[in-house]
């Protein structure tokens, strides 16, 4: 027993040391990363990529404007994980190896990429094999996603939508302050950044009409969100305790929960969104580990009334992530920023969402995706959807080229980006983007 305890203690202190070393702001890689790069040595997010020369998808880590091919590095005997774990079209096999392996692998990669480590730096043959320029690679959906749930955790967003769709005098529904509200989304239509999004068809009820009509969505919108990926599943009937919830999270991505507002407003009562959010959800290709995000923990808003005991959290469970949305109007050359906000203002935290999701006994699986809910700040420029930015079309956005937008038009491209600002470096998420194609005729 004592020996076991001593070993567990040694393992946990080793792990803490690993994170502290990998997150050291003074660390430098031999791959140059300017201060605004999203992928310095302090980040090392995991993804899946392929190249024209080797079209088989495999696991890689982003470093500067390159990708480190983990299959090639493991084949060279430089990682404690079998190469076949990385010769996969998703991260799931790697994630299944557990948190000590995620951590140990990130630490080994960090070591290998250090400016003062000659092992890879001065091995031209291995560099040629294992380092791929990002612009020469195709990035794939990083995770096989068995289930997708979307939460509703921004008080500002819930208040804004409540005002527009329901009653401005009672915008926030009474359950909202007690429950991290969510709905079960569609995992089948989660796509990776860059995948075009077809405008959905569906039922619409026009303002003064008696009956609905069938047609193309006229109020197509984005929702700025982050998502987290389940790394350690829980069994059916065994809820995840909030104190351990973080251990179950592999990492985070950016997420665009494309939304058809006209379909939504007609269909959502009383069971919630269905076709209005089932046609596409885009995520960024790089999964940023919770270890890389550790230095950017932030206080989340004070919760009043106090949540029930199973939702009581301790410590800082928010994260300081700057987020931006840009819109590139079909005809214009340049994208224009239309929203700037921060993830730390979210009322319900990821650990609360996970504790709530499983409190019924609901199980989760490796790769399950949990959307944060739309991330809206308190000022109009910080609203995370066009529904809010244009107040349901009443106040169109005027773009730099003079054109106006209430909702997304065919040919428009929406891109989201996000990063944590360190001292002289950024731990970033890259981007999630998607161009809208006309509805099926």
Pattern of binders to ligand LGMQ2O6W over 48-87, x per CB under 6 A? ----------------------------------------
**What single DSSP character describes residue 366?**
T
Q: Is residue 150 a contact point for Ca ion (CB under 5 A)?
A: yes
Residues 110 and 41 sit within 8 Å (Cβ to Cβ): yes
* Active-site residue (options: 157, 248, 356, 357): 157
Q: What are the structure tokens assigned to 249, written together?
A: 């999270």
257 is annotated as contributing to ligand binding: yes
267: contact with Ca ion by CB under 5 A:
no
Give the Cα separation of 63 and 27 in Å (integer). 13
Strand boundaries in 247-359, DSSP class E: 249-256, 259-260, 281-283, 288-289, 297-298, 318-319, 322-328, 336-342
* Cβ contacts of 424-427, under 8 Å, gap ≥ 24: 424/25, 424/35, 425/25, 425/33, 425/35, 425/37, 425/40, 425/42, 426/35, 426/36, 426/37, 426/38, 426/40, 426/43, 427/38, 427/40, 427/42, 427/43, 427/288, 427/292, 427/293, 427/295, 427/296
**Any catalytic annotation for residue 157?**
yes
Among 219, 277, 328, 357, binds Mg ion (CB under 5 A): 277
Binding to ligand LGMQ2O6W by residue 246, rule CB under 6 A? no
Q: Confirm or reject binding of residue 172 to ligand LGMQ2O6W (CB under 6 A).
A: no
Binding residue for ligand LGMQ2O6W (CB under 6 A) from 194, 212, 273, 422? 273
CB of 369 to ligand LGMQ2O6W, least distance (A): 13
Q: Does 152 belong to an annotated binding site?
A: yes
Of 17 and 166, the one with the shorter C-beta distance to ligand LGMQ2O6W is: 166
Integer Cα distance of 18 and 106 in angstroms: 9
* Interacting span for Ca ion (CB under 5 A) from 19-27, 79-87, 108-116, 252-260: 252-260
Whether the CA torsion 229, 345, 284, 418 is positive or negative: it is negative
Q: Residues in the site for Mg ion, rule: CB under 5 A?
A: 257, 277, 281
Q: Residues in the site for Ca ion, rule: CB under 5 A?
A: 150, 223, 257
Binding residues for substrate: 152, 166, 264, 268, 374
Binding residues: 150, 152, 166, 223, 225, 257, 264, 268, 277, 281, 374
Binding residues for Ca(2+): 150, 223, 225
């Amino acid at each position: 027993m004592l020996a076991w305890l001593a070993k567990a203690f040694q393992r946990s202190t080793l792990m803490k040391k690993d994170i502290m070393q990998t997150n050291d702001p003074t660390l430098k890689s031999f791959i140059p990363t300017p201060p605004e790069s999203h992928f310095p040595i302090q980040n090392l997010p995991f993804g899946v990529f392929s190249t024209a020369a080797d079209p088989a998808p495999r696991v890689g880590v982003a470093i500067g404007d390159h990708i480190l091919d983990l299959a090639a590095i493991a084949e060279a005997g430089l990682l404690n994980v079998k190469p076949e774990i990385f010769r996969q079209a998703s991260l799931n096999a790697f994630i299944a190896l557990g948190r000590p392996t995620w951590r140990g692998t990130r630490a080994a990669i960090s070591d290998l990429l250090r400016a003062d480590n000659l092992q890879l730096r001065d091995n031209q043959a291995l560099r040629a094999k294992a380092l791929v320029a990002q612009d020469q690679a195709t990035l794939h959906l990083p995770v096989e996603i068995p289930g997708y749930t979307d939460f509703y955790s921004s008080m500002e967003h819930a208040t804004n939508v409540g005002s527009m769709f329901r009653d401005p005098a009672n915008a926030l529904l009474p359950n909202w302050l007690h429950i991290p509200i969510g709905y079960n989304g569609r995992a089948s239509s989660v796509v990776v950044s860059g995948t075009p999004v077809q405008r959905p068809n569906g039922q619409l009820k026009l303002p003064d009409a008696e009956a609905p009509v069938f047609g193309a969505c006229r109020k197509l919108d984005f929702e700025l969100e982050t998502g987290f990926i389940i790394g350690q599943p829980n069994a059916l009937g065994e809820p995840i305790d909030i104190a351990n919830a973080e251990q179950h999270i592999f990492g985070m991505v950016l997420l665009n929960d494309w939304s058809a507002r006209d379909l939504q407003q007609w269909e959502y009562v009383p069971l919630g969104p269905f076709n209005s959010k089932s046609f596409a959800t885009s995520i960024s290709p790089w999964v940023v580990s919770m270890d890389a995000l550790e230095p950017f923990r932030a206080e989340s808003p004070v919760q009043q009334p106090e949540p029930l005991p199973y939702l009581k959290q301790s410590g800082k469970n928010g994260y300081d992530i700057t987020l931006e949305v840009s819109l590139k109007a079909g005809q214009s050359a340049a994208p224009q920023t239309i929203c700037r906000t921060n993830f730390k203002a979210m009322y319900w935290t990821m650990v609360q969402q996970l504790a709530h999701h499983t409190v019924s006994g609901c199980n989760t699986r490796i790769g399950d995706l949990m959307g944060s809910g739309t991330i809206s700040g308190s000022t109009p420029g910080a609203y995370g959807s066009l529904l809010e930015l244009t107040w349901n079309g009443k106040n169109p956005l005027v773009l730099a080229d003079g054109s106006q937008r209430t909702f997304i038009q065919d040919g428009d491209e929406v891109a989201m980006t996000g990063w944590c600002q360190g001292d002289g470096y950024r731990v970033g998420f890259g981007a999630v983007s998607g161009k809208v194609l006309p509805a099926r005729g």
